[in-house]
Amino acid sequence: MIKFDNVSVSFPNKNGKIVHAVNDVSFEIEDGEILGIVGTSGAGKSTLLRTVNQLQLPTSGQTIVNGNDIGNLSGKELANVRHSIGMIFQQFNLISTKTVAQNVAFAMEIAGRSREEIKQRVPELLELVGLADRADVYPNTLSGGQKQRVGIARAVANNPKILLCDEATSALDPETTNDVLQLLKEINNKFGITIVLITHELDVVKKICQRVVVMNKGEVVEIGNVFDIFTNPQHEFTKTLLLHTFDLDLPKRFTQENSKPLVKIVYNGDKAEDAIVSNVVKQFAVDVNILHGKIEYINDRPFGILIVQLIGEQDEIYKSLNYLSKNTYRTEVINERN
Ligand SMILES: Nc1ncnc2c1ncn2[C@@H]1O[C@H](COP(=O)(O)OP(=O)(O)OP(=O)(O)O)[C@@H](O)[C@H]1O
Ligand SMILES: [Mg+2]
């Protein structure tokens, strides 16, 4: 388990002022989960993540990894904890003068693994990341996706319990990103490695994270289950961040039309939306005009969004809204009404 306990990190900047990069952050990351950290540039995401393997010491507070206060370890203890934490980066950070196999082997050498062990494990690792046939080539002959696969093989070479990913897919095209995410998911499943993933791509979070932490100006503003946060953000900053995730823009004539309620229905994929909408029409004296809709997949869990106009008498509309609220994940009126 990783535990951030009132972690703050400050830096003096050029003008002698203090920058509070991370400000009193406390939360826990469970073993085996895939947790995303999102936020705008400068929010303190990388700085917070770097306290996990002590690339950055907290100015105050503690980062505790598997029961060890990371800031309070002797050199040898710290080295051991570091070997149990793998890290991958946006720019891959491979050694250009070493082959693919040598890059992976190097991580094991510095962890003091025996030559026999390295000889046996490197091919297994390259097999795992789908690069068995590239063992003897140099990184500059690889595509971005392949480079990141080498990065992943290297990061998991010493059987870490934790894998830290800082914008690991940000330099990759969407298809390659998907492949790399699938690989991360597989590694998480197979070995139970905890994955902490910083990204500015909300799609990445939707695809593989179970929980997400939203950071703004050094602080955690929201944390929770990805499905809940994406479909029902509480904090203004999160709402703004997610504004364009479910692009369901309607022509202004609908949103400005205020005589009929414009209703956004968010339903959990387990419920059949058709039945809910047709039930409304059957049970109440209203017409339902469907204007927009889509099904999104968050962490493989489908959920639908439907935007409808309700047409009818005031009290029938009221009853319909009441029914929808009770039978959907969330129902909200999104136009200004008189
Ligand atoms: N070594 C440092 N010295 C001085 N200031 C730093 C240092 N590292 C980070 N900062 C400052 O701390 C703040 C948080 O930076 P950080 O890199 O953690 O943000 P981030 O959320 O990872 O941003 P990005 O999405 O751009 O990577 C920024 O204002 C940054 O300029
Ligand atoms: Mg960063």
Binding site membership of 140 for ligand 1 (Cβ less than 6 Å): no
* Ligand 1 pocket: which of 8, 25, 45 to mutate (most atoms within 8 A of CB): 45
Nearest CA to ligand 1 atom 1: 11
2-241 carries CATH number 3.40.190.80: no
pLDDT at position 156 is: 96
Kindly give the distance from the C-alpha atom of residue 40 to the centroid of ligand 2, in angstroms, as a whole number: 9
SS3 of the chain: the string is CEEEEEEEEEEECCCCCEEEEEEEEEEEECCCCEEEEEECCCCCHHHHHHCCCCCCCCCEEEEEECCEEHHHCCHHHHHHHHHCEEEEECCCCCCCCCCHHHHHHHHHHHCCCCHHHHHHHHHHHHHHCCCHHHCCCCHHHCCHHHHHHHHHHHHHCCCCCEEEEECCCCCCCHHHHHHHHHHHHHHHHHHCCEEEEECCCHHHHHHHCCEEEEEECCEEEEEEEHHHHHHCCCCHHHHHHCCCCCCCCCCHHHHHCCCCCEEEEEEECCCCHHHHHHHHHHHCCEEEEEEEEEEEEECCEEEEEEEEEEEECHHHHHHHHHHHHHHCCEEEECCCCC
Nearest CA to ligand 1 atom 2: 11
Atom of ligand 1 nearest to the CA of 39: 21
Kindly give the distance from the C-alpha atom of residue 2 to the centroid of ligand 1, in angstroms, as a whole number: 21
Nearest CA to ligand 1 atom 12: 21
| Residue 135: φ, ψ to 5° | -50, -40
Q: Where in the chain is the domain with CATH 3.40.50.300?
A: 2-241
Binding site membership of 163 for ligand 1 (Cβ less than 6 Å): no
* Total residues found in the chain within this entry: 338
pTM of the complete model = 0.86
Per-residue pLDDT of the chain (338 residues; tens, 9 = 90+): 999 999 999 998 888 899 999 999 999 999 999 999 999 999 999 999 999 999 999 999 999 998 889 888 888 888 888 888 999 999 999 999 999 999 999 999 999 999 999 999 999 999 999 999 999 999 999 999 999 999 999 999 999 999 999 999 999 999 999 999 999 999 999 999 999 999 988 889 999 999 999 999 999 999 999 988 988 889 999 988 887 777 677 888 877 777 788 998 888 766 655 688 889 999 999 999 999 988 888 877 777 888 999 999 999 999 999 999 998 888 989 886 65
Binding site membership of 46 for ligand 1 (Cβ less than 6 Å): yes
**Fold adopted by 252-333:** Alpha-Beta Plaits (3.30.70)
Contact 1, 31 (CB under 8 A): yes
Nearest CA to ligand 1 atom 11: 21
Nearest CA to ligand 1 atom 28: 42
Binding site membership of 146 for ligand 1 (Cβ less than 6 Å): no
Q: Where in the chain is the domain with CATH 3.30.70.260?
A: 252-333
Nearest CA to ligand 1 atom 10: 21
Atom of ligand 1 nearest to the CA of 44: 18
In the structure, ligand 2 is a single-atom ion and the residues with CB under 5 Å from it are: 46
pLDDT at position 270 is: 67
pLDDT at position 278 is: 87
Kindly give the distance from the C-alpha atom of residue 176 to the centroid of ligand 2, in angstroms, as a whole number: 21
